[in-house]
Amino acid sequence: MKLVLHQQREINETEVEVRYAEMDENVRSLIRRIRQSEQHIIGEDNGRRYRVPIESIYYIESMERNVFIYTKAEVFRSELRIYQFLNLLDGYDFVQIGKGIIVNMNMIDCLNSLANSRLQITLINGERLNVSRRFLAAMKSSFIGKGDIQA
């Protein structure tokens, strides 16, 4: 892949133009990452609202009617429900691994099949999360290809 950078002081917003011959998984992945890099969601911590960049999210978990957003060092609460996050993050590098848990695919270090026939992912910060077997097929298809992205 060829990377061309142009500095134009007169423009207010950074522009990214992707030229490609075929819309393959590499291009799709690139587009997802570009989109993900500038988007954010609102999270609450101690009554204060924060803009949480999507790319900094490790995982989102629903626990007892509350939804928490986990980043490297912080945890934010959200008023959104898991299904709303699933809609919101459709097209981004996120995958559902359980009924109430969505993980950033770029934060996964590895997937392990444990001796007790359970599945577990290890995140890049060493944290471990259980994967429901019901979501394994969806997880596999998310990693192989997330489908077509509108250019």
Partner 1 sequence: MKAFLKQWMLIFGFVVLSAHIIPPIINGRWDGAWLIIKLLAASFLICASIRLLEKLPIEIPLLKHLINMCAVLLIVFALGWLWQWYTPAGFWIVFVMVIPVYVVVVLIDAIKIKRDVEIINKQIQLRKRENIHETQEEII
Binding residues for partner 1, per CB under 8 A? 3, 29, 105-106, 108-113, 115-119, 133-134, 136-137, 139-140, 143-144
Residue with Cβ nearer partner 1 (116 or 150): 116
Compute the least distance from the CB of residue 45 to partner 1, in Å: 28
* Cβ atoms of residues 129 and 97 within 8 Å: yes
Token couple for 81: 């429900």
Residue with Cβ nearer partner 1 (37 or 84): 37
Provide the 3-class DSSP secondary structure of residue 100: coil
Residue with Cβ nearer partner 1 (68 or 143): 143
Compute the least distance from the CB of residue 77 to partner 1, in Å: 26
Compute the least distance from the CB of residue 143 to partner 1, in Å: 4
Residue 117 to residues 95, 100, 130, 143: CA-CA distances in angstroms? 21, 20, 11, 22
Compute the least distance from the CB of residue 82 to partner 1, in Å: 18
Compute the least distance from the CB of residue 16 to partner 1, in Å: 14
Residue with Cβ nearer partner 1 (128 or 133): 133
111 Cβ contact partners less than 8 Å away, ≥ 6 residues apart: 119, 120, 121, 122, 131, 139
* Cβ atoms of residues 6 and 14 within 8 Å: no
- For the chain, the distance separating the N- and C-terminal CA atoms, rounded to the nearest angstrom, is 18
Gyration radius of the chain's alpha carbons: 17
Residue with Cβ nearer partner 1 (74 or 109): 109
